Amino acid sequence: MSSTAPLTYDQAGVNYDLIDPLKIAAQRAAAATGAHLGGHGFSEVAASRGESAYVVDVGPFYLASIVECLGTKTLVADEMATLTGKSFYASIAQDTIAMAINDLITVGATPLVVQAYWAAGGSDWFGDAQRAQALVAGWKAACDTCGVAWGGGETPALAGIVADGRVDLAASCTGLINPKERLSVGDDLGPGDAIVLLASSGIHANGLSLARKLAERLPNGYLTEIAPGLSYGEGLLAPTTLYSPVTEALWKAGIVPRYSANITGHGWRKLLRHPKSVTYRIHTVPPKTAVLDFIQRQAGQDDREAYSTLNMGAGFALFVKAEDAERTAQISRDCGIDAWVAGCVEAGEKQLLIEPLNIRFGADDLALR
């Protein structure tokens, strides 16, 4: 491949054809275990099986739980530490917590407890005090932002499994949907609802394989200036926005979203997440962040490709009653996160129409497992 050839997400290294059979087998086996809850007097919320967090009805409220992996963003942080002498692990900590929190809140849950999973390639990894302290400080700061308790976690040294000098970061999160009316699995989603998009801070933690491949093709790599005073590496390492302050503020304001989507892997196709056959029409597209614009141009992606894999400036989608739309956006802005009333839900076939960009994604474009 020449250094200027277009670069797709699939070329960047993740082969879903190999992973999908296992995922499907796991999902079938997992679904068969839901009945065990009956033995404890509880039951699963079956509709949550395809959602971002698993929900159990425990009587007075619903219980939601999740485990999420950061992915390969640490490889960028490690390279940038070598290039600049700075540690970016405070940001990395926020990214990791965001992966779990931003998924958990989609079902209407208030995150309560986060557990840390920091698996290093050997004991030595923990000996870098600057990096270790940044990871701890960033983890705590993210918990403070989200009002969650950091319950504990694991810090194993896994020589032979995790690569030497690397760390595999993940977070688990448990929360409650309380009161139960806050449950948001899309039952009431339908024509007439508005789509409110919340700003992302950059690439967040999806698409990093592609972003790293691009760095290899740049003469200055991660130090390439992509905006005045901003390097490519710094742009990539902007910490993922934490959206739970917005969802909590919405509840306090009396707004219960009909549905939510965390825009991660598969980019804007995630707007098609709910199984309902409805049309999502977007009339307003948020500005791309500098780093996403740079990636799109450097990878030679057209808009359709870019919006199908990256968040392109919108990190979270709230589907709300039309009359709540402007207030929803304002509440997000009051939380310091820009937001746009970007479109609406209509009767029609399952599709996403991004009108300003002339893009259509159909039901076949998102085969979430």
If binding is defined by CB under 8 A, does position 83 make contact with its own copies?
no
Q: In whole angstroms, how close is the CB of 128 to its own copies at the nearest point? A: 9
Closest of 110, 344, 68, 154 to residue 250, by C-alpha: 110
Candidate ranges 11-19, 188-196, 230-238, 277-285; the one touching its own copies (CB under 8 A): 11-19
If binding is defined by CB under 8 A, does position 97 make contact with its own copies?
no
> Rounded to whole angstroms, what are the CA distances from 5 to 157, 211, 213, 238?
40, 14, 12, 27
Candidate ranges 70-78, 181-189, 267-275, 276-284; the one touching its own copies (CB under 8 A): 70-78
What is the rounded (10 degree) CA torsion for 53, 34, 47, 109? -30
| Window 15-54: contact mask with its own copies (x via CB under 8 A) | xx-xx-xxx-xxx-xx-xxx-xx-xx-x-x----x---xx
Q: In whole angstroms, how close is the CB of 341 to its own copies at the nearest point? A: 29
If binding is defined by CB under 8 A, does position 221 make contact with its own copies?
no
> Rounded to whole angstroms, what are the CA distances from 216 to 4, 68, 222, 296, 357?
11, 27, 9, 15, 30
Q: How many CA atoms lie within 13 A of 249 on its CB side?
A: 18
Closer to its own copies by Cβ: residue 174 or 289:
174
If binding is defined by CB under 8 A, does position 140 make contact with its own copies?
yes
If binding is defined by CB under 8 A, does position 368 make contact with its own copies?
no
Closest of 320, 149, 338, 333 to residue 249, by C-alpha: 333
Q: In whole angstroms, how close is the CB of 335 to its own copies at the nearest point? A: 15
Closer to its own copies by Cβ: residue 112 or 339:
112
Candidate ranges 55-63, 236-244, 317-325, 343-351; the one touching its own copies (CB under 8 A): 55-63
Q: Is residue 316 a contact partner of residue 204, using CB atoms and an 8 Å limit? A: no
Return the number of other C-beta atoms located less than 10 Å from residue 147's C-beta: 12
Count of chain residues binding its own copies (CB under 8 A): 87
Q: Which of residues 149-168 bind its own copies (CB under 8 A)?
A: 149-163, 166-168
Angle formed at CA 146 by CA 115 and CA 117, multiple of 5 degrees: 20
**Phi, psi at 351, each rounded to 5°:** -165, 160
If binding is defined by CB under 8 A, does position 95 make contact with its own copies?
no
Residue 185 to residue 183: CA distance in whole angstroms:
6
* Candidate residues 8, 72, 224, 330; the one interacting with its own copies per rule CB under 8 A: 72
If binding is defined by CB under 8 A, does position 240 make contact with its own copies?
no
